[in-house]
Amino acid sequence: MMLSDVMEDYLKVIYQLQQGTDDRIKTSEIADELDVTSPTVTSMLEKLEDRGLIDREKYRGVTLTDEGETVALEIVRHHRLLEAYLTEHLDYDWSEVHDEADRLEHHISEDFEERVADALDEPDVDPHGSPIPNADLEPPERPDSDSVIEFEEGDAVVVEEVADHDPEILSYLADHGVEPGVELEILEVAPFGMVTARSNESDRSVSLPEHVAHHVRVARPAELEQ
């Protein structure tokens, strides 16, 4: 099935918005994510529905069909493999790779994808901790994590994933050592949302304003859950 880059972008966004919810995805959510108008989204959803890629109920929103999810998973796999390759082999900073991968994800061949995956030894996650669908395009298991803002003073957590689409936030987090795999101790959660934490790796404290904290997903260390 031949799809335009824009169609693939819509399927990828719907897939990402569906993660962690059983609700249908509303037109307004897609419009916000893609920075387009609701009428523009409605027009595209009609085309995707005609191709059997989404299930749409008027006034209730959309979900991906099995075929639509497969297409979305392939694009997500391309994107996250490219992010990993750009950081590991081409010395890109993790704050630069999202836009570059967005441009490339629609245009690589299956052979190129296999070579990239092989060069990276089939990674499970991208540089931001987001799970990469496998070659069979099975939905990856997502880590059992929450925004760091959901935890309390004294909690010990491990960074699992950070949102990849805001270069300024990614640069801020990298400068303060907040990356996947890093252990944090929550020192304070202010009433207005500011989270202060200490990195066990650098023994430095870092202040995460609310809009930054919402981009950082963490989980309790496994040994604390046993």
pLDDT, averaged in runs of 10, over the chain (226 residues): 93 93 94 96 97 94 97 97 97 94 95 97 95 93 87 95 91 91 94 89 87 92 61
CB 222 within 8 A of CB 213: no
> How far is residue 14's CA from residue 21's CA, in Å, rounded to a whole number?
11
What are the strands of the beta sheet with 146-147, ordered from one edge?
A: 146-147, 216-219, 156-162, 183-189, 195-199, 205-208
pLDDT at 135: 95
Helix, strand, coil shares of the chain, percent, nearest 5, are 45, 20, 40
pLDDT at 51: 97
Domains of the chain in sequence order: 5-64 (1.10.10.10), 146-224 (2.30.30.90)
pLDDT at 191: 86
DSSP state of 160: E
pLDDT at 223: 53
Q: Whole-model pTM?
A: 0.90
DSSP state of 90: S
> How far is residue 129's CA from residue 59's CA, in Å, rounded to a whole number?
34
pLDDT at 209: 93
pLDDT at 226: 47
